[in-house]
Each structure stands twice: as C-alpha cells, then as structure tokens.
Amino acid sequence: MDKRRGPLRHGMVKEADSRGQIPGTPPSARPCGKRLLVLGGGYVGMYTALHLQHRLKGELAHGAAEIVLITPDPYMTYQPFLPEAAAGSISPAHVVVPLRRVLSKCRIIIGEATAVDHAKRTATVTTLATEEEGTGATELTYDELVIAPGSISRTLPVPGLAAYGIGFKTLEEAIGLRNHVIEQMDIASSTRDPALRDAALTFVFVGGGYAGVEALGELEDMARYTARYYHNIKPADLKWILVEASDRILPEVGEEMGGYAIRELRSRNIDVRLETRLDSCENRIARLSDGSRFPTRTVVWTAGVKPAPLLAATDLPRNSHGRLRCTPRLTVEGTEHAWAAGDAAAVPDITSDDPDALCAPNAQHAVRQAKVLAENLAASLHGKPLKEYAHRNAGSVASLGLHRGVAHVYGRKFKGYPAWLMHRIYHLSRVPTLNRKARILAEWTLSGLFKREIVSLGSLEHPRAEFEQAAGGGTGRNTPKPPSGGGGPRST
C-alpha cells in the first residue's frame, strides 16, 4: 500500500455490494444515510472531517449520514514540525495526531484509494486486510466525495537520485534522516579511509524552500552540537551544501528576509549555491551544474512537490500541473458532489488581482480551506447557499536552527531570535489538540534544561536483524548491506 508496506495487488477489484460495504463492517450492519467519503488524512482530510463531525452531529447520531475517512496512516502529520523532529527537539509521536482519537464520530479506514469513478460515485480502495486476504481492492460507493490526498516529492530525472536521494515529506523520512546523519558521523569517526570520512561528513540538500532550508538548518545545528561528543570530529569537518536552482531561497518570506537567511547560513559555513542544479548523484558523487563535484553519502531532495498520483486515476478535471480544477467554493469544477482543497487542489485565489492566480500549496491555505469546505458541504446538504474561499497570505515564518529564524508576517519583518520564537509560538498555536500542544511545550522546556539527545536509533529500522543473526539467517545490524536501489536513507 504505502512505501513501508510493500506493493499492492491492484489486479482485481471486488464487486461492490448494494451499498459498497465499508471494509471491516459485518454484512448485517444497518444501511446508513448519506455517505461522505474523505480521501486523505492530512491537513485537509483531518480538519474537514473534524468540522463535519461538529456540523453534522445530529445526522451522524441518527444514522442520516456517515463520514468515512480513508488514509494510509492512522495519524495526521504536522509537517512544519518535521525539521524539529529530525533535530530531536520534538519526539516523533508528538508530531503526529491520532486520527481515531480526534475523529471519534468518523469511520477511519487505514488504506489507500487507488482510483475514483465519480460518474459512478465509487472509489477503489485497498487496505492492509485486502493485502492479507489476497482479495484485491474493494469498491466503495459514496454520496459526497472530499478528495484531499495532498502531494508527493517532485523529482526530476537526475541520474542516481532514485537510488541515493532522500525525501523530506514524511515522519519516517525525517527520523530516518536524523539517524542517517548521526550514523555518518559514527562512520567518519571509525574509518581510517580519508575519502570515506569526507563523503560521510558531506551533506547536500537540494531545494531552498522552507522544507529544505529548515531541515538543513535544524540538522546542521544538531550535528554541530553532536560533534562535541566525538573525539575526532570537529564541527568544521562537517560540510553542508544547499543547492538552489533560482537566485533566492525561502521565497515565502520575501526577498529581504531570504537574503538574510542566506547570510545567516553562510556565516555558519554552510555553502549556499544559488542558480545551481544537481546534475547527477550517481555512485555517491553529487555533480552540480556549476562544475563542482562532492563525494557524499547524503543527498536530501526537497525541490518542490507535485499532486498525489491518485488524481490521475480519477475522472475529475485537472489543470496542467495535475491539480484538481476547483471553484472558489471548493467544489471540483463542472461536477456535483465532489469537493477538494489543499495541495491536491487548484483553488482560485480570489484575493489576488491576477485572475489566474491560485492558492499556494501550503498549510496556511489547507487548514482554512478545510473549514470552508466542511461548511459548504454541510450547507449543501441542508440546502443552504455556499460561500467562497478567500484568504490573503498572512506571510511566513521559518526556523534556521535553534534560536535562529526569519519571518515576514502581515508586512512586518523579523529575524534571529524573535523570528525563531515567533516560529515556535505560531506552530505551537497551530498544532492540533491541546494534548499535543502541552507535550511539545514540555519537551521544549525540558530541552532548555537538559542536554540534547545525540543517539542514532537507526537500528529501529531493522528490528529483526539481531534475532535473524542469532537464528543463523541474517547478517547482523552492523554488517554493510548492499544498496537496494530504493529511495530511503542508506547506512552503508
């Protein structure tokens, strides 16, 4: 189903029963009223379901409506905290929100929609159980569709990227990258080969948006701190390179603050290369368009996103970038009973003077769109008029590592410690649930009092390795494994 669970069998599709029975429901279950199907459990999916849960309380209680949410993970990931999770400032469990707890009135199905036939009002769905049962995908019928599968990393055909690149969109990638960086320091510390040491201590990040810059800023900070615990690694031995194809970084915070961010990163010896592209990273050598080459075991790819592949497997209209064409009311253009928002949706920005302007794919829009979408969907069910989504960008905040940041909010610019503090306060106020807020605040407070965590728990990614070795079938966790050609962080 998803990257961790192996490929799905898409070969056969089970016949839908009279109502497109929800997987896991006994056949005797009573038929329900209108089915609202939400695809995706990220910002849009979770917040839409949450608002609908409140607005349709009566209908849900009487069985006049049901909300079914399908998503590959049982949690929503608060992506702006991934860089801090990678740096170890927030524990992984606190970056995610358990969907079953928040959406107690909804049916949550851990699975993936592989296609949507909106003309027939059916979604083809696979779950962990369909894999185990070998029964193939199930068709699920619906009355209203909310389609919010977000986006995936936008890659380019760069030689070596598929084999050696590391993404930074999911919690697994963020924690994998943290473990990988510390592991590289362990390799560098224990090798006698200067070339291997050099490659292990060279970290290349491609893409100067907030994901790339924040990830680099936080990890560089963490690695510099960690270096003090190695007898033979000094912070100056670590080489960090940021490669950006345009002439600026962090376009979200404006030109002046983007320029400040470049100066701040360079003052930390980070090699920021503008108007430069990664041409290849074959054989663990990053070759850049300016002619330079860096042997490295770490290439982090954060050069933008593209809409989720599910959209191409629907009969819904898409624009030239593959996003769903939407109206300002968050309905899918030219259709009835289909709604979309977030990274997957091309929603007109009606606050802009440019009639072709679209809302940017970011959390700021996703959260607000989810609210309007839920209100409109509920209004349409109640026969009330719909409203248009309008939100003028409030600006952006970005962290550049501990106590450093940039912000451009409501026309005002901030840098350094005040911007970093704003970043933390803003995201703390935004992260869903009081429970999460309290836990994150406690973690930040404790990390101010105690020392940072500096361990790599990379072995968690291979929990059976030791037992397999004991049973005589495995190679053990410290034995190098050959590259498999996949995309995740490598430790050999």
Ligand X SMILES: Cc1cc2nc3c(=O)[nH]c(=O)nc-3n(C[C@H](O)[C@H](O)[C@H](O)COP(=O)(O)OP(=O)(O)OC[C@H]3O[C@@H](n4cnc5c(N)ncnc54)[C@H](O)[C@@H]3O)c2cc1C
- Site residues, ligand X (CB under 6 A): 39-45, 70-73, 79-80, 82, 112-113, 148-150, 168-169, 210-211, 308, 310, 342-344, 361-364, 366
Of 274 and 363, CB closest to ligand X? 363
Smaller CB separation from ligand X, 80 or 258 = 80
The residue of the chain with the least Cβ separation from ligand X equals: 42
Name residues whose C-beta falls within 8 Å of residue 116's C-beta, 6 or more positions apart in sequence.
39, 122, 123, 124, 145, 147, 310, 313, 314, 315, 316
Which residues, 6 or more positions from 427, have their beta carbon under 8 angstroms from its beta carbon?
Answer: 78, 80, 81, 397
Paired sense of beta strands 412-415 and 404-409, if any: antiparallel
Instruction: Provide, rounded to whole angstroms, the least separation between the CB of residue 416 and ligand X.
Output: 18
CB half-sphere exposure, 213, CA atoms < 13 A: 30
Provide the minimum distance between the beta carbon of 81 and ligand X in the complex, in angstroms, as a whole number: 8
C-alpha distances in Å from residue 367, one per residue of 51, 71, 305, 363, 373: 11, 17, 18, 6, 10
Q: Which is nearer to ligand X, 40 or 88 (CB)?
A: 40
User: Residue 44 CB, nearest distance to ligand X (Å)?
Assistant: 4
Nearer CB in complex with ligand X: 48/276 = 48
Q: How far is the CB of 389 from ligand X (least distance, A)?
A: 14
- Which two tokens mark 4? 């961790």
Helices 210-227 and 171-190, interaxial angle, to 10°?
40
Beta carbon nearer to ligand X, 150 or 217: 150
CB of 206 to ligand X, least distance (A): 14
8 A C-beta contact, residue 381 and residue 34: yes
Residue closer to ligand X, measured from CB, 23 or 187? 23
Minimum separation from the CB atom of position 209 to ligand X (A): 8
Q: How far is the CB of 465 from ligand X (least distance, A)?
A: 28
Amino acid occupying residue 171:
L
Burial of 463 (0-12, 13-18, 19+ CB in 10 A): exposed
CB of 396 to ligand X, least distance (A): 7
Give the burial class of 488: count Cβ atoms within 10 A of its Cβ; 0-12 exposed, 13-18 middle, 19 or more buried.
Answer: middle
Least distance in Å: CB of 376 to ligand X?
Answer: 17
| Residue with smaller CB distance to ligand X, 69 or 378 | 69
Q: Are 429 and 439 in contact (CB under 8 A)?
A: no
Pairwise CA distance, residues 90 & 283, whole Å: 34
When the beta carbons of 150 and 160 are compared against ligand X, the nearer one is: 150
Which residues, including other chains, have CB under 8 Å from residue 322's CB and lie 6 or more apart?
Answer: 306, 307, 311, 312
Q: What is the DSSP string of 186-221?
A: HHHHH---HHHHHHHTEEEEE--SHHHHHHHHHHHH
Nearer to ligand X, 21 or 48 (CB): 48
Q: Among residues 49 and 200, whose Cβ is nearest to ligand X?
A: 49
Assign 3-state DSSP to the chain and report helix, strand, coil percentages, each to 5.
35, 25, 40
Across 402-449, where does the E strand assignment appear? 404-409, 412-415
Compute the least distance from the CB of residue 41 to ligand X, in Å.
Answer: 4
Q: How many angstroms separate the CA atoms of 182 and 161, rounded?
A: 21
Residue with token string 């191409």: 312
